[in-house]
A and B are shown apart, each in its own frame.
Chain A
Amino acid sequence: MPPRLCSLCNDARAILKRPKTGQQICKECFFWVFETEVHSTITEAQLFKPGDRVAIGASGGKDSTVLAHVMKTLNDRYQYGLELFLLSIDEGITGYRDDSLETVKRNQQQYGMPLKILSYDELYGWTMDAIVSQIGKKNNCTFCGVFRRQALDRGAASLHVDHIVTGHNADDIAETVLMNIMRGDIARLGRCTLICTQGEDTIRRSKPFKYAYEKEIVMYAYFKKLDYFSTECIYSPDAYRGHARAFLKDLEAARPSVIIDIIHSGETFEVKEEVKATQKAQQTCKRCGYMSSNELCKACTLLEGLERGMATAAITERARKKLDAEGPALESIRTIPFFQQSPEAHSTDAPKPPT
């Protein structure tokens, strides 16, 4: 078979078939189009302004490793004028997170970005290892998800950043659209395709890889020889997401554009006002000051359950009633330090998407 030429430069040998377009392109053109498309995503959504302090949520995995590389490249090439930081959450999972944090530490050296690591242990007094040894492997992803979200916000606040960018890619978003449809979670369906989200009191979060295919992210890391960490979490992975993912990959094999098509479907869903209204108004957690839709935020509720040896309290209604019946929390239980967002971290001119 004669070598196929790149369909963009007609000069070099093609090394990749783009899933989005079916084009066959060479290595240099691939780097260029990949980076340029992320740049367009960023500029079209007006994600940043000069002088912004931006934290890259860095797990050491493929997506955030490539994101850190591309953010640095684009910031230099197009003079975004951003101050970039790496922000990692240490969940306290021996043999998993401690290894992936080594990757993040190498990224810190390679890209010359300051790194902040915030651990569940220092914030909540519990590592995931300790949580799993108390509650088992069944609901631990609930704890991890709630704790990570708040930890990221708090880490960002301590860095005084305006913005967190995460490595969520097109495949992840398409997967989330499918999951929200299958669960009937229409309110979330309306939000999950937004490139940028901001709650009342949280830091802006964006997904510059919203339109980047996983295949291209992995190929980019491979051809750039970026080193990343790739081991599944040792505690039960999200089985439901796993099914959605396998289903999506099967669809993609038959029709590669399906990823973008699903995102597009998610974007064009009209969510009725009364469905949006079922979301509770946001308030501030009376115990820790974090934004919450109840008196106590989810993290405080989960933590109280752990501290009182009734970890399922926040997960099942029955267990919560049992906990309430035992009376109010003792003064002695461990709580999360009060959340104080720095004033400069509030960009008041930021557009607020509907929440």
Chain B
Amino acid sequence: MATSSTTSKQISIKVEFGGGLELLFDNQRSHRVPVPSYVSTTGKKSLKDDADVAEGKGRPVDVAYLILWLRDNLLKERAELFVENETVRPGILVLVNDTDWELEGEGEYQLKGGDEIVFISTLHGG
């Protein structure tokens, strides 16, 4: 996992899980995660080794990247309950700074340092 110190090439994002999703993330609801400011423009299954970015190319980091980053770096079990077809599984609600991500461009929302992204599962019993 990356270190938590924020360098100029990284931004720090606040991530929260609710509705039972936290169980996949070590039962911790709140996390602060460092993500690179620029990421690969090519879709990759795993983002752990990102050569393009190391060379300084890429697109500004967005929520779509964050989702895969969380899967690869923070998720502890049952990835299929979080990610499906390279985005969150249907039934997981996402909020960007307390606003429905459907109003913020969904995965294309470009992250800024200090943003708060909340993921809530609606799939658990009522």
Chain A residues within CB distance 8 Å of chain B: 1, 4, 13-17, 24, 59, 61-64, 167-169, 171-172, 214-215, 217-219, 222, 230-233, 245-246, 249-250, 252-253
**Contact indicator B103/A15 (Cβ below 8 Å):** yes
**Contact indicator A231/B100 (Cβ below 8 Å):** no
Q: A250's closest neighbor in chain B, by CB?
A: B90
**Contact indicator B90/A214 (Cβ below 8 Å):** no
Q: Which residues of B contact A169 (CB under 8 A)?
A: 126
8 extra interface residue pairs, beta carbon distance < 8 Å, beyond A61-B126, A231-B124: A1-B105, A62-B126, A214-B122, A217-B126, A222-B118, A230-B19, A232-B125, A246-B90
**Contact indicator A1/B120 (Cβ below 8 Å):** no
**Contact indicator B103/A14 (Cβ below 8 Å):** yes
Question: B114 on the interface (CB 8 Å rule)?
Answer: no
**For the side of the interface on B, what is the size category?**
20 to 34
Q: Which residues of A contact B70 (CB under 8 A)?
A: none
**Contact indicator A215/B122 (Cβ below 8 Å):** yes
Question: B99 on the interface (CB 8 Å rule)?
Answer: yes
Question: B123 on the interface (CB 8 Å rule)?
Answer: yes
User: What are 16 A-to-B residue pairs whose CB atoms are below 8 Å?
Assistant: A14-B99, A15-B98, A15-B99, A16-B103, A17-B103, A59-B125, A61-B126, A62-B124, A64-B126, A230-B125, A231-B124, A232-B124, A232-B125, A246-B90, A249-B89, A249-B91
Q: Which residues of A contact B98 (CB under 8 A)?
A: 15
Q: Which residues of B contact A231 (CB under 8 A)?
A: 20, 23, 124
Question: B52 on the interface (CB 8 Å rule)?
Answer: no
